[in-house]
Chain A
């Protein structure tokens, strides 16, 4: 059942119908904003990405990816390509390589996420059998001056939280010999 409510708009009076007074009132509103802002009131806009408004503290929101690491600092990822397979935006590119003396055998020689293509769907996290990729950094990607900045390589992804100094080189560190943490 559609309910219909009739709205009786007040007919315009003569002054309103010749527009001029109403236009002047409108101009007064915009001019007030113009001068207020010209003389120093702050704009509501933030010069993104240099300054960012902190995201709401919602743990359920999907944010920039990261790769989890084992206690020894090597990535948990075994380069199984399942995230790359699941990714609908095809933004993940992996190259696999072999650990010579490690029972884990396979590791990602390169692992990159192209945030300019990522749709933040979280399917990579769902697909990962090793719980190696997560989207919990609290960092909302976007707003970069170049495409290259939006392309995260393995080192970028292994950084735990934004702001923390990344431990460069950790990505290729080997686990201790055979029988090591698995």
Chain B
């Protein structure tokens, strides 16, 4: 990470940061929009259906590619309804509080190592704070405010009940989420996401990449479960239960409602990116180093640095998309948990297991030293 010393450096740093934010955040939001379509298309393919394919611009449907646009426009033109008794300020604030933390979190995710541009080393990460993992947990914990305030500010019994359910679920699983990551930090000796990714580039016994899935396989399962639950997606979607249970954003409509939906899909993308970053080597491609491929047998292929950087970013994107798809697949495969099952799963199974995972990791680390 470059430390800004001169004013020109500061300017360059600011410009680079702004470009990265625009590029990465824009890309993330674009992919999120497409995820809303992917959710419907993937489910259609799984169920031998066609899926949405009617939205058209000048007769052109592109097999449904315009549906996110149509959905967005539709949401814009819906009546923005607010209950008469609602708390005006909090009611308006809740969707922002739901969406903002999720979008903030994308800043901590490294989407590449670095790239040399005009002699300037550009880190392919918007921000890489030394305690990135803790910050990540802290910021993601904020989104529960959005959820709970939505139910509270609506002044509606049903919305409040939904918010209570959602808040209980989110807070419970945040605990497990934090504990599963502890093992990772012990293994890689850092809380910075970029450091963790770099550490995953090492090889075990000379040929196995030291990815999180190899060093912490158990933590991955726990993390994915807890993350999906914290995101309130199927099979843990009983906080909103789109079609039948009344959720915390029941009184919301128009773009305010869209903000909640968008936050959910953005968080899905975030979870996918985190899975890739923490457990599947992030931008790492096995045996690809700054200078090119170096296979265990000794064979090597030299590549310019910008090519490796590109390949690494592409690898990160592919991994992320895979986990997005996996979450969709999970959603359309599993039935929903009951609320007592959900809570018992968290406090009586996942939490003890994650603590056990920390203990086991510690023991293993001690033994290997």
Set of chain A residues within 8 Å of B53, measured between Cβ atoms: 47
CA distance A31 to B45 in the complex (A): 9
Please tell me if B145 contacts chain A, counting CB pairs below 8 Å: no
Near A by CB (< 8 A), chain B positions 187-217 give none
Q: A20-B221, A23-B334, A26-B334 are contacts. A44–B329 as well, Cβ < 8 Å?
A: no
Please tell me if B295 contacts chain A, counting CB pairs below 8 Å: no
Q: A20-B221, A27-B329, A43-B50 are contacts. A34–B334 as well, Cβ < 8 Å?
A: no
CB 8 Å contact bits of B212-231 with A (1 = contact, 0 = none): 00000000010000000000
Please tell me if A33 contacts chain B, counting CB pairs below 8 Å: yes
CA distance A37 to B46 in the complex (A): 7
Q: A27-B333, A30-B329, A30-B332 are contacts. A44–B49 as well, Cβ < 8 Å?
A: yes
**Is the CB–CB distance between A34 and B50 below 8 Å?**
no
Q: Which residue among A23, A30, A43 has the maximum number of chain B CB atoms within 10 Å of its CB?
A: A30
Shortest Cβ distance from residue B259 to the other chain A in the assembled complex, whole angstroms = 30
**Is the CB–CB distance between B45 and A33 below 8 Å?**
yes
Task: Name A37's contact: one of B48, B221, B330 (CB within 8 Å).
Answer: B48
Shortest Cβ distance from residue A39 to the other chain B in the assembled complex, whole angstroms = 10
Please tell me if B44 contacts chain A, counting CB pairs below 8 Å: yes
Near A by CB (< 8 A), chain B positions 32-65 give 42, 44-50, 53
Set of chain A residues within 8 Å of B48, measured between Cβ atoms: 33, 37, 41, 43-45
Q: Which residue among B48, B53, B332 has the maximum number of chain A CB atoms within 10 Å of its CB?
A: B48
CB 8 Å contact bits of B328-353 with A (1 = contact, 0 = none): 01101110000000000000000000
Please tell me if A55 contacts chain B, counting CB pairs below 8 Å: no
A contacts with B, residue count (CB < 8 A): 16
Shortest Cβ distance from residue B45 to the other chain A in the assembled complex, whole angstroms = 4
Please tell me if A60 contacts chain B, counting CB pairs below 8 Å: no
CA distance A47 to B49 in the complex (A): 10
Set of chain A residues within 8 Å of B334, measured between Cβ atoms: 23, 26
CA distance A41 to B332 in the complex (A): 19
Please tell me if A29 contacts chain B, counting CB pairs below 8 Å: yes
CA distance A138 to B45 in the complex (A): 32
Set of chain A residues within 8 Å of B221, measured between Cβ atoms: 20
CA distance A31 to B333 in the complex (A): 9
**Is the CB–CB distance between A43 and B329 below 8 Å?**
no
Q: A23-B334, A43-B44 are contacts. A34–B329 as well, Cβ < 8 Å?
A: yes
**Is the CB–CB distance between B45 and A27 below 8 Å?**
no
Closest to B349 in A: A18
Shortest Cβ distance from residue B9 to the other chain A in the assembled complex, whole angstroms = 49
Closest to B235 in A: A23
**Is the CB–CB distance between B45 and A45 below 8 Å?**
no
CA distance A34 to B43 in the complex (A): 8
Closest to A47 in B: B50
CA distance A82 to B152 in the complex (A): 56
CA distance A37 to B332 in the complex (A): 15
**Is the CB–CB distance between B46 and A45 below 8 Å?**
no
Task: Name B333's contact: one of A23, A38, A45 (CB within 8 Å).
Answer: A23
Set of chain B residues within 8 Å of A38, measured between Cβ atoms: 45
A-B contact pairs, 8 of them (CB 8 A): A23-B334, A26-B333, A27-B329, A30-B333, A33-B45, A34-B45, A45-B48, A47-B53
Residues of B within 8 A of A (CB): 42, 44-50, 53, 221, 329-330, 332-334
Residues of A within 8 A of B (CB): 20, 23, 26-27, 29-31, 33-34, 37-38, 41, 43-45, 47
A23-B330, A34-B45, A37-B46 are known; give 20 further A-B pairs, CB within 8 A: A20-B221, A23-B334, A27-B329, A27-B330, A27-B333, A30-B329, A30-B332, A31-B329, A34-B329, A38-B45, A41-B48, A43-B44, A43-B48, A43-B50, A44-B48, A45-B48, A45-B49, A45-B50, A47-B50, A47-B53
